[in-house]
Amino acid sequence: MLATRGDFIKVATAAGLTLGLPLGTAVEADAAGPVAPPLSPSAWVQINPAGAVTVVINKAEMGQGVATALAMMVAEELDVPLALVSTQFAPADPRYIDPAWGDMVTGGSTSVPDMYPVMRNAGATIRAMLIAAAAQQWGVPAATLSTKAGFVVGADGKTASYGSLAAVAATLPVPSAVALKPATSFELIGTAQPRIDLPAKLNGTAQFGIDVKLPGMLYASMVRSPAIGGTPAHVDASAAKKIAGVKDVVTTSRGVAVVATTYWAALKGRKALHVSWNSGANVHVTSASIQAQHDAALAKPGFVQGKPVGDVDAALKTAHKTLTATYHAPYLAHATMEPMNATASYTGDALEIWAPNQVPLQAQKAAAAMTGLPVSAVKVHSTFLGGGFGRRLEHDYIADVVEVTKQIRKPVKLIWTREDDVQHDFFRSGSTNKLTGAIDANGAIVALHHHVAATSVTARWAPQFIQNQQDSYAMEGASSTPYTFANFASEWSPIDTGIPVGYWRAPGANANTFATESFLDELAHAGGQDPVAVRRALLAGNPRALAVLDAAVAKAGYGRPLPNGHAHGVAMVVWAGSIGAVIAEVSLAKKNAITVHTLTVAADVGQPINRDGLEAQLQSGALFGLSAALYGKITFANGAVQQGNFDTFRVLRMDEAPAIRTAVIASTAAPTGAGELATPPVPAAVNNALFVLTGKRYRSMPLSEAIV
C-alpha cells in the first residue's frame, strides 16, 4: 500500500502541513504506526508528541473554506493557535460521517452547522485530557489549570506544552462530557483568518483530482452519446488504435474510452474513433418539448405543498387588483473550473479511487457494486475539488473510470473535456413558475399563489426525503420565503423529461427566487408601492429577516440618489436556516448592455466562523448568481446539449464583475448555511433594477437575452 500512503500524504501536504510534521500521523487505518501513539480520542483531531495538531476534514474542500472553518472550531476549543494546526482529508470511512447526514456528504450548506458541535466537542475533549495529564503530572487538581496557545498553565505559572503531555494524556480515559466555551470567550471563532490551504493554492502544489499521478498510470478520454442516455452501438477502433501512445479502446455502459500513455494521445485516439450510437429514449427531446411539458403541467393543478395559509382563492376573488405572470429559468450546467475526472486502480481483488467528490461513501458503495468487490476492498481518497457547486454530489464520472480500470486492470485517470463536462452534466432543471397575486386598495400584498413546474433532483438522489409529493427541496424559494402572506399557497408539478438533473448551488431556490422576488416587485409597482416598503410590510412577523433587509438597505444606500441612469433592485431569500438580501445597482451603459455596478449582500448566518471566509462565500455566491442571471443557458435538440465550451456556455468574466459589498448581522446563534445563500436573490435583484430602468418586466433568464 505504499503508493496509496504516499499519495495520501501528498494530499495532506497540499492541505497545509507546512511545519515539517512527522507524517506517521496519517489517519488512515492502514498507516504504519508512529513511534509513540498520538493522542487521538476522536476521529477528528490528534496531537502527536511533537505537538503537531492534525484536524481531519470529513468534508469536500471545494473552495468554500470548510477545512479552515472546521480547523478553527477545533483550535478555538483546544486553545491552540490556528497556525499550529494542519488538516487532512478523511478517506471514505464510516468513522467520518457527518452525524446529521449519517453519511459523508458535502452539500446543502450544512457542513458548518452540522460539524460545529462535533468539532468543538473534539477540541474541548482533547483539551480536557491534556489538562488531566498535567494535573496528574503536577499533582494538582485539574480545576486549578488553564490553557493558552498550546500550553497547559498551572496556577503558579508553570507551563507544559501539549506535545509534552500527549503521551500521558493518551493513557487517560476520554471524558464523556466536556463544557464548551461560551461565545463571549471566543478568541478565534468569528475572526478573519487566512485560508489554511492558501500556501498550497498559491504555489501550484495543491493536489486536485486531475493532478493525481500513480506509477504506471494511463490516461483516458471517453466519448459519450450526443443524445443524453444513448449507448454505444458499434465501435470501429482500428484507426484510433494506430495512434502512437494509444494502448486500448474500452467500450463501457455509456461510452467508449481511449486509453493511452498521455492524455493527448487519448484525445487524438478519441478523434479517430468511429462510434455509432443507440440514441436511446431522449432523442426527440428538445427545449421546446420540455417547455411544452411544463406548460401542460401548469395548466392543471399541482401537488399542494404544506398547509396553505388563509384562503388564496377567496382572497383573489375579492381583491382590489390581481396579477398573474409566468417566469422561466433555463437549464444550467455547473461548469466547475476543474472538469470532471477521477483516477482508479483495480487489481482484481482491490480497487482504489482518487477523486474530487462530495459523496465519497456513496461513490465507494457504487464502485463496490460495479466490481463485485466488498466495500472494504474499495478505498476512496479525497483530493481538493476545483469547484463543486453540487456537480460532485454525483459519482457518474467515478463510475466511468471504474469501468475502464476494471477492464484493463491498470491504474487510469479519466479526464472529461470541457465539452463532455458541459454536455453530460446533471443539469440545474429548467423551471417554469406561474404566480398569481393580489393587492388591496392600499397596495399591500394580500395573497400569493406560486405553482412550480420543474424536474425533481431529490426524487432520484434521496427519494426517502419526499413523502406524498412534498418536495421541499424543489420548492425552496417558492414555498419557503422570509415573508408572511395573509393568504398563500404553493403547488408543485414534477416533470419527467429523461434529462438528468442535479443539485446546483442553492437548488430550487436559484430558479424559484427569480420568480418570487421579481413577481413581488410586480405587485409592488402595481400597487404604487416602494419595493422595499412592500417587503418590510410582509416581514412584520420576522424581525430577523427585517434586520437583514434593513442592513442591505443601509449598506447599499437604497433610496438615496444614484448616478443618472442607475437603479436599485432588491430581493431576498431564506436558505439553510440563513437569511439573505441582495440589492443590485444596475445601469444600461449601452443599449441593452446590462452593467451591474454593485451587489450589496446582507446576511444573517448565525455565528460566523471565519469572518473572511464568510465574506468570500457571500461574494462567490453573488457572482455565481449573476453569471446565471445574465448568461447561463443550456438548451437541447435531438436529446443533445447545444452548448459545449465557454464560448457557448457563457459565464461571468472580470470585466463584467461588480463590486460586492457585504453586511453581516452580528450573531452568536448556532451557525447556519452560508455557501449558497447569496446566489438565489441576485437574478431578481438585477431584474427588478432593470424594470426601474426600462419600465419593462423581464420574465426569463438569462437576462442578457431577455432584454434584447
Judged by CB, which is closer to another protein: 207, or 667?
207
Binding to another protein in span 483-502, by CB under 8 A: none
* Smallest separation, CB 421 to another protein (Å): 9
Q: Report the residue number, 244 or 288, with the smaller CB distance to another protein.
A: 244
Q: Quick one: which of 457, 423, 485 has its CA closest to 649?
A: 423
SS3 320: coil
Strand pairing class (351-355; 378-382): parallel
Residue 516 and residue 468: Cα distance in Å, rounded?
A: 24
Q: 70 vs 660, which CB is nearer to another protein? A: 660
* Alpha carbon distance 277, 494 (integer Å): 29
Nearer Cβ to another protein (108/613): 613
Applying CB under 8 A, among 146, 278, 645, 694 the residue interacting with another protein is 645
What are the b/e assignments for 559-587, b being 16+ CB within 10 Å?
eeebeeebbbbbbbbbbbbbbbbbbbbbb
Q: Which residues pair with 259 in a beta bridge?
A: 220, 248
* Binding to another protein, residues 178-217 (CB under 8 A): 194-195, 197-208, 210-211, 213
Q: Does 63 bind another protein (CB under 8 A)?
A: yes
Count of residues touching another protein (by CB under 8 A): 61
Considering beta carbons, is residue 147 or 382 the nearer one to another protein? Answer: 382
Task: Give the residue, chosen from 67, 412, 623, 703, that forms a contact with another protein under the rule CB under 8 A.
Answer: 623
Alpha-carbon distance 321 to 525, whole Å?
Answer: 12
Name the residue nearer to another protein (CB basis): 200 or 285.
Answer: 200
Choosing from 524, 616, 686, 701, the residue that interacts with another protein (CB under 8 A) is 616
Among 55, 62, 315, 603, binds another protein (CB under 8 A): 62
- Within 657-686, which residues bind another protein (CB under 8 A)? 657, 659-660
> Judged by CB under 8 A, which stretch of 37-45, 176-184, 249-257, 336-344 contacts another protein?
336-344
Stretch that binds another protein, among 232-240, 284-292, 318-326, 649-657 (CB under 8 A): 649-657
- Of 358, 364, 417, 667, the residue at the interface with another protein (CB under 8 A) is 417
Tell me: does residue 654 bind another protein (CB under 8 A). yes
Q: According to the binding rule CB under 8 A, does residue 6 interact with another protein?
A: no
Nearer to another protein, 294 or 391 (CB): 391
Task: Looking at residues 229 to 248 of the shown chain, list those that interact with another protein (rule: CB under 8 A).
Answer: 244
Q: Does 146 bind another protein (CB under 8 A)?
A: no
Q: How far is the CB of 16 from another protein (least distance, A)?
A: 12
Identify the residue among 72, 385, 402, 629 touching another protein (CB under 8 A). Answer: 385
What is the nearest approach in angstroms of another protein to the Cβ of residue 529?
33
Tell me: does residue 223 bind another protein (CB under 8 A): no
Can you tell me the distance from the alpha carbon of 599 to that of 674, in angstroms, rounded to the nearest whole number? 16
Taking the least distance from each CB to another protein, the nearer of 349 and 647 is: 647
Task: Check binding of 65 to another protein (CB under 8 A).
Answer: yes
* Residues of this chain, 30-59, that bind another protein according to CB under 8 A: none
Please pick, from the candidates 108, 229, 269, 387, the single residue that binds another protein as defined by CB under 8 A. Answer: 387
Under the criterion CB under 8 A, does residue 263 sit at the interface with another protein?
yes
Q: Which of 453, 458, 464 is nearest to 503 (CA)?
A: 458
Determine contact, residues 212/343, Cβ cutoff 8 Å.
yes
CA 239 to chain centre: 42
Least CB distance from residue 675 to another protein, whole Å? 10
Place of cell 426600462: 694
The smaller minimum CB distance to another protein, of residues 265 and 298, is found at 265
Q: Residue 290: in which H helix or E strand, if any?
A: helix 287-298
Question: In what order do the strands lie in the sheet containing 487-494?
Answer: 303-304, 487-494, 445-454, 431-439, 321-329
Residue number, 156 or 647, with CB nearest to another protein = 647
Angle at the Cα of 165 (from 164 to 168), degrees rounded to 5? 125
Q: Which is nearer to another protein, 252 or 336 (CB)?
A: 336
The residues near 404 (Cβ < 8 Å, ≥ 6 apart) are 220, 222, 250, 252, 257, 259, 344, 412, 414
Q: Does 397 bind another protein (CB under 8 A)?
A: no
How many CA atoms lie within 13 Å of 17's alpha carbon, on the beta-carbon side? Answer: 23
102-112: burial string, b at 16+ Cβ within 10 Å, e else: eebbbbbbbbb
Is residue 419 packed enough to be buried (19+ CB in 10 Å), middle (13-18) or exposed (0-12)? middle
Interface pick for another protein out of 44, 389, 397, 504 (rule CB under 8 A): 389
Considering only CA atoms, give the Rg of the chain.
Answer: 27
Q: Which amino acid is at 293?
A: Q
Minimal distance in Å, beta carbon 412 to another protein?
Answer: 13
Touching another protein, residues 440-459 (CB under 8 A): none
Using CB under 8 A as the binding rule, whether residue 593 contacts another protein is answered as no
Given 116, 151, 219, 483, the residue binding another protein (CB under 8 A)? 219
Q: State yes or no: residue 476 binds another protein (CB under 8 A).
A: no
Residue choice 74, 259, 335, 562 for contact with another protein (CB under 8 A): 335
Using CB under 8 A, pick the residue from 89, 96, 116, 384 that binds another protein.
384
Rounded to whole angstroms, how far apart are CA atoms 403 and 424? 17
Residue 109 engages another protein in binding (rule: CB under 8 A): no
DSSP 671: P
Cell numbers for 204: 501550484
Polymer length in residues for the chain: 708
Single residue of 13, 88, 336, 423 touching another protein by CB under 8 A: 336
Q: Which stretch binds another protein (CB under 8 A): 41-49, 413-421, 455-463, 465-473?
A: 413-421
Q: What DSSP assignment string belongs to 171-188?
A: TSPPPS--PPPPGGG-SS
H/E stretch holding 586? strand 578-590
Q: Which residues pair with 129 in a beta bridge?
A: none
CA distance 509 to 525: 23
Q: Between residues 244 and 299, which has the closer beta carbon with respect to another protein?
A: 244
Q: Does 355 bind another protein (CB under 8 A)?
A: no
Output 172-178 pairs: Cβ under 8 A, ≥24 positions apart: 172/129, 172/132, 172/133, 172/136, 174/41, 174/42, 174/125, 174/129, 175/125, 175/128, 175/129, 175/132, 178/121, 178/124, 178/125, 178/127, 178/128
Query: Considering only residues 278-307, where is the footprint of another protein by CB under 8 A?
Result: none
Binding site for another protein (CB under 8 A): 62-65, 194-195, 197-208, 210-211, 213, 219, 244, 262-264, 335-339, 384-389, 415, 417-418, 612, 616, 619-624, 626-627, 645-647, 651-655, 657, 659-660
